[in-house]
Amino acid sequence: MKKWLIGSLVGAILVFGWQFLSWSVLGIHKDAFKYHPAQDSIINYLSSTLTEDGAYMIPTAKPGTPRKEHQEMAKQMEGNPWASIIYHKEAHFSMTRPMIRGFLIDLFLVFTLIYILTRAGTPNAVRILAGSVAVGLFCFLWGPYTGHNWFSLPMDMIKGDLIDGIAAWGLCGLWLGWWLNRK
């Protein structure tokens, strides 16, 4: 159990550290969000019309609209502009809580990865690395890629998540492959 806990702690530090570097120093996610020169006008308009935090798809039908009307609206929307908006009434830039939550999630994920990989005994380092990278790809394909595929997100918006999935979990896999196979 001590080996698992140390492996999880160091693995979580590697995954978390990669996430920090990819979003800050390395600039891997720099193309994820675009600048618009009329941003002040846009945010002022949104603030005057949106009353609560949330994700909005515009246009969309009112809640409770019959399915047939949804289908008719979809036909009318075909070929026309639409938007997906995530709106917050207030900006808060304190990163303490999100970073603690992120690290604890990484710790849980690495511990779970060790649990899955060692169910039939400890595999060799190459299998641990392959399993770790597979988890990173699984997370990307299930989350950002297919989860947001409905919104047809451009690849420049999600490519950083793909790089993170491979790099962060690859680093973790290298570590765990060495650590778990140590005598």
Domain boundaries defined on the chain: 2-36+94-180
pLDDT classification of 149: cutoffs 50, 70, 90: low
Would you state the pLDDT for residue 150? 62
Distance in angstroms (rounded) separating the CA atoms of residues 68 and 89? 34
**Per-residue buried b or exposed e for 15-24, using 16+ beta carbons within 10 Å of the residue's own CB:** bbebbeebee
CA 26 to chain CA centroid, nearest Å: 17
Could you read off the pLDDT of 124-135 as tens digits, one per residue?
999 999 999 999
**Residues 6+ away with beta carbon under 8 Å from 165:** 136, 137, 139, 140
Q: What is the Cβ-side half-sphere exposure of residue 154, based on CA atoms within 13 angstroms?
A: 7
pTM, entire model: 0.81
Could you read off the pLDDT of 27-80 as tens digits, one per residue?
999 988 889 999 999 999 999 999 999 988 889 888 999 999 989 998 999 999
